[in-house]
Chains A and B, each alone.
Chain A
Amino acid sequence: MGLGSDMYRQQILDHYKNPRNYGELEDPTFTHIGENPMCGDEIRMDVVLDDDEETIERVAFKGDGCAISQASASMLSGKLAGKTLEELHEMDRDDVIDMLGVDISPMRVKCAVLAEKVAQDGAEIYQGDLDVDKTTTEDD
């Protein structure tokens, strides 16, 4: 049996084993957490905005869970820096799957999009447009 997994290409495994921007930020503009209890995936995201209160300056995350959810959070944390909140809200699941660069099987899409939804919900809460304690993608 060879090492031929389609969903676990080198990039995913690399981000899972060596997550970027891992940890917490001092004085984040907003923080939000997400959890998929059936999977056990957890992600906390800290976001610092520029003085314009619109552009994302830095993102850090902490989490626990499967390789897909954690690699997605790691890759997203880098991709979000420099984006505006509006651009963040425009992102959808296809953007995440493009970012991961692999085919995600239908049952695993919820793992892949958890980080994105955490960032989006965190921003919406910060903007006063949403009121939830935790984000989940298991209901989608």
Chain B
Amino acid sequence: MSQQNLESLDVGAIREEFPILQREFNGEQLVYLDNAATTQTPDSVVDAMSDYYREFNANVHRGIHHLSQEASVAYEEAHDRVAEFIGASGGREEVIFTKNTTEAENLVAYSWGLNELGPGDEIVLTEMEHHASLVTWQQIGKRTGADVKYIRVTEDGRLDMDHARECITDDTAMLSAVHVSNTLGTVNPVSELVDIAHDHDALAFIDGAQAVPNRPVDVEAIDADFYAFSGHKMSGPTGIGALYGKRDLLEEMQPYLYGGGMIRKVTFEDSTWDDLPWKFEPGTPQIAEAVGLVAAIDWLEEIGMERIQAHEEEIARYAYDRLTAEPDVEVYGPEPGPERGGLVGFNLESVHAHDLASIMNDHAVAIRAGDHCTQPLHDKLGVAASARASFYVYNTKEEVDKLVDAIDDARQLFA
């Protein structure tokens, strides 16, 4: 990405589309650096959702009237738009809307895992998995008798790929790996991982919750069997996420949630299922959220995913450099560059991460402190909690400076 293109990203204009960023606390303007948890939502997404409620709110599926037709078309086409965005050539049949990434992980775990796994099978995860996949597959392992193995994380916060090749064997049935770590920021070599899994006839699930929001993702180039992400981490609404799955796999899988909207023929004795993706979307779905997600994708693509990635990398590099320049700050994860996403996890020596986050909050700097849903990884790092600053398209280097000022303040308070 050239410098010239980077400069053409007008962060000032972008920020005007986010009124929430103008909020002040204790007389100081909000510095929102908790984007890995959830991103803010631009006016266009809020408007799209409010237009839906004002103009074509109706239940989907088979409504004869005009409103239901409009809502149905918008909801169905949202699947096509998501498919196009992540490079799923199969269109809507390969995109299932879920509540979030966690539910997508559970959908595959219940629909595929419970039916296909048994003693002697292996599930391979990474030590940097989010609890969304770690807890899900750990519990599915317990219920099916399948073993769960973890690919090691190296000292510098990368996956040990030699260990990956050892872990993934002919007994491996499923590999579930995070695309970008929400704690270390590591961008994992997911294509390589998927290839290793496929060499052993295992399926590969990639958790893209921290990747889809900030970089171009092509699920077919990765060759993932399943890929999942959440709307609220990519300037879209909460309550909607998506599961991509290869069509032949989804066709074979049985639904694990039953009800209306997912059936074809029902008798008192038995039922048959609707086509993809509807057989996995029972009940009234997230219609407004699907409309909002489309608006978010439109908004992101208008800026350009490459430019968003470049901007995030630049802010992350600046934050990394400023934080590593502080002798009493420990920064986790790989060095800046293409193998690191737009978040920086760190700890200030002698100040607990929660105290640090509280002091930052007094200065209207919003960061996250805790285990970030990666408790085993924190055990491995030897800390109970870490602080995390995570960036998005609307963040600036000046905001990173405010973060570092707040660290100075915390250090003085605790000196």
Hey, which bits of chain A sit against chain B, CB under 8 A? 1-8, 13, 16-17, 37-41, 65-68, 105, 108, 111
Contact in complex: A1, B352 (CB < 8 Å): no
Residues of B within 8 A of A38 (CB): 370-371, 375, 385
With CB as the reference atom, state the residue of chain B lying closest to A16. B414
CA distance A8 to B415 in the complex (A): 12
Residues of B within 8 A of A41 (CB): 384
Chain B interface residue number, banded: 20 to 34
A-B contact count (CB 8 A): 61
Contact in complex: B359, A111 (CB < 8 Å): no
Contact in complex: B413, A3 (CB < 8 Å): yes
Residues of B within 8 A of A40 (CB): 352, 383-385
CA distance A6 to B358 in the complex (A): 10
Which residues 348-383 of B have a CB within 8 angstroms of A?
A: 351-355, 358-359, 361-363, 370-371, 375, 383
B399 CB → nearest A CB, Å: 13
- The 0/1 profile, CB within 8 Å of A marked 1, for residues 379-406 of chain B is 0000111000000000000000010011
Main SS of the interface on chain A? loop
Contact in complex: B384, A39 (CB < 8 Å): yes
With CB as the reference atom, state the residue of chain A lying closest to B408. A1
CA distance A108 to B408 in the complex (A): 22
Contact in complex: A1, B370 (CB < 8 Å): no
Assuming the contacts A38-B370, A67-B414, asked whether A6 and B362 have C-beta atoms less than 8 A apart, the reply is yes
CA distance A125 to B383 in the complex (A): 30
Contact in complex: A4, B371 (CB < 8 Å): no
Among A65, A66, A111, find the residue whose CB has the most chain B CB atoms closer than 10 A.
Answer: A66
Contact in complex: A105, B358 (CB < 8 Å): yes
Which residues 238-279 of B have a CB within 8 angstroms of A?
A: none
Q: Cβ of B412 < 8 Å from any Cβ of A?
A: yes
Contact in complex: A39, B370 (CB < 8 Å): yes
Residues of A within 8 A of B351 (CB): 67
Assuming the contacts A39-B385, A105-B361, asked whether A3 and B412 have C-beta atoms less than 8 A apart, the reply is yes
In the complex, 22 of the A-B residue pairs with CB atoms within 8 angstroms, ordered by the A residue number, are A1-B402, A1-B406, A1-B408, A4-B362, A5-B359, A7-B362, A8-B358, A8-B359, A38-B375, A38-B385, A39-B370, A39-B384, A41-B384, A65-B384, A66-B352, A66-B353, A66-B354, A66-B355, A67-B355, A68-B355, A105-B358, A105-B361
Contact in complex: B358, A108 (CB < 8 Å): yes
CA distance A16 to B351 in the complex (A): 11
Residues of A within 8 A of B355 (CB): 8, 66-68
Among A8, A13, A17, A65, find the residue whose CB has the most chain B CB atoms closer than 10 A.
Answer: A8
Assuming the contacts A1-B406, A13-B413, A38-B371, asked whether A108 and B354 have C-beta atoms less than 8 A apart, the reply is yes
Assuming the contacts A39-B385, A40-B383, A67-B352, asked whether A5 and B414 have C-beta atoms less than 8 A apart, the reply is no
Which residues 104-156 of B have a CB within 8 angstroms of A?
A: none
Q: Give the top 6 A-B pairs by smallest Cβ distance, nearest first.
A: A40-B384, A66-B352, A66-B354, A1-B405, A5-B362, A67-B355
With CB as the reference atom, state the residue of chain A lying closest to B352. A66
Residues of B within 8 A of A39 (CB): 354, 370, 384-385
Contact in complex: B354, A13 (CB < 8 Å): no
B288 CB → nearest A CB, Å: 29
With CB as the reference atom, state the residue of chain A lying closest to B354. A66
Q: Cβ of B314 < 8 Å from any Cβ of A?
A: no
Among A1, A3, A7, A37, which residue has its beta carbon within 8 angstroms of that of B358? A7
With CB as the reference atom, state the residue of chain B lying closest to A70. B352
With CB as the reference atom, state the residue of chain A lying closest to B358. A7
Residues of B within 8 A of A3 (CB): 409, 412-413
Contact in complex: A17, B354 (CB < 8 Å): no
B402 CB → nearest A CB, Å: 8
With CB as the reference atom, state the residue of chain A lying closest to B371. A38
Instruction: List 11 additional contacts besides A39-B370, A40-B385, A68-B358; criterion CB under 8 Å.
Output: A1-B402, A1-B406, A1-B409, A5-B413, A7-B358, A7-B359, A8-B413, A38-B371, A39-B384, A67-B414, A108-B354
CA distance A41 to B369 in the complex (A): 13
